[in-house]
Amino acid sequence: MAKYDSQLETLIIDGVNVTFFGETICDVSFTGDWTETRAGRKGDCVTDAKYDNLLQIRTTVLPTSPQLAQWDVWARSRNPHNIQYSNPNTNEYYTSSTAYIQNSGNRNGNADREFTITCEDYS
């Protein structure tokens, strides 16, 4: 049986190690499909490879996070940021120099703040 250790999961934005994660540390997904299949009039199938997928990372931080004010600065800057995400539990490692904070999270009292990061390029 494998052990999942959430303490190993890290997110670094512009050299700042994000701490005090909320319920969701990092939910990593890709926009769109990797391929698209379509059928011609005679039933012939064509599969197109798609290369327009963006990496998205959704995360929540606690209202007591020391980086909470910095999240707002990052989001409002509308500039690209450097990010590194690593999760040794699943062998996922991503870096991007064109990551944008899509929102500055809803302010709802003592609730976690949710942020979405979209990466134009990633490796």
Length of the chain: 123
- Integer Cα distance of 96 and 118 in angstroms: 10
Compute the distance between CA of residue 116 and CA of residue 11 in angstroms, rounded to an integer. Answer: 13
Which pLDDT belongs to residue 1? Answer: 65
Residue 68 structure tokens: 């909470």
Among the residues of 1-123, which ranges form H helices? 68-77
Residue numbers of the chain with a pLDDT score lower than 50: none
